[in-house]
Structure 1
Amino acid sequence: MSRKIVKRTRWYRKIHRWIASGLFVFFFFIAATGLLLGWKKNSNGYLLADSQKGVSTNPKDWLTVDSLRSIAFKIYGDSTQAVNKPTVERIDIRPSKGMVKFVFSEKYLAVQLDCSTGKLLHFERRRADFIEHLHDGTILDNLFKTNGGIFKLSYTTIMGVSLLILTITGFWLWYNPKRIKQKKQ
Structure 2
Amino acid sequence: MNKRAKQAKVIRFFRKAHRITGIYLFVLFFILSISGLLLGWKKHSKGLILPRTEIGVSTNPNDWLPLSNLQSKALESIKSKNKSITEISRIDIRPEKGIAKFIFKNEYWELQMDCTTAKVLAINKRHSDWLEDIHDGSILDDLFKTRVEIIKLFYTTSMGCALILFTITGFWLWMGPKRMKKLK
**TM > 0.5:** yes
1:103 alignment partner, SS class: strand
Which of 4, 7, 10 is the aligned partner of 1:5? 7
Q: Distance in 2 between matches of 1:60 and 1:173?
A: 62
* Equivalent residue runs for 1:89-128 within 5 Å: 89-128=89-128
Report deviation, 1:179. Answer: 1.1
Residue deviations 1:17-73, cap 9 Å, x none? 010110000000111011101111110011111111111122222111111111111
Q: Where does structure 2 lack aligned partners over 5 or more consecutive residues?
A: none
Residue deviations 1:140-168, cap 9 Å, x none? 11111111211111000000001101110
- TM-score norm. by structure 2 comes to 0.96
Q: Distance in 2 between matches of 1:117 and 1:105?
A: 25
CA RMSD, Structure 1 to Structure 2 (Å): 1.0
Q: Distance in 2 between matches of 1:183 and 1:165?
A: 26
The residue number in structure 2 matching 1:66 is 68
* Equivalent residue runs for 1:125-144 within 5 Å: 125-144=125-144
Q: Distance in 2 between matches of 1:87 and 1:99?
A: 19
Q: Distance in 2 between matches of 1:163 and 1:54?
A: 44
Q: Distance in 2 between matches of 1:15 and 1:180?
A: 20
1:23 alignment partner, SS class: helix
Q: Where does structure 1 lack aligned partners over 5 or more consecutive residues?
A: none
Report deviation, 1:127. Answer: 0.3
Residue deviations 1:92-123, cap 9 Å, x none? 11112110111011100010001111111010
Q: Distance in 1 between matches of 2:24 and 2:94?
A: 44
The residue number in structure 2 matching 1:56 is 58
| Runs of 4+ in structure 1 over 6 Å off | none
Q: Does 1:78 align with 2:80?
A: yes
> 2:155 is aligned with what amino acid?
Y
Q: Does 1:165 align with 2:144?
A: no
> 1:142 is aligned with what amino acid?
D
Q: Distance in 2 between matches of 1:176 and 1:57?
A: 60
Residue deviations 1:118-147, cap 9 Å, x none? 111010101011101100001011111111
The residue number in structure 2 matching 1:23 is 25
- TM-score norm. by structure 1 comes to 0.95
2:160 alignment partner, SS class: helix
Report deviation, 1:81. Answer: 2.6
Q: Does 1:14 align with 2:53?
A: no
Q: Distance in 2 between matches of 1:116 and 1:176?
A: 65
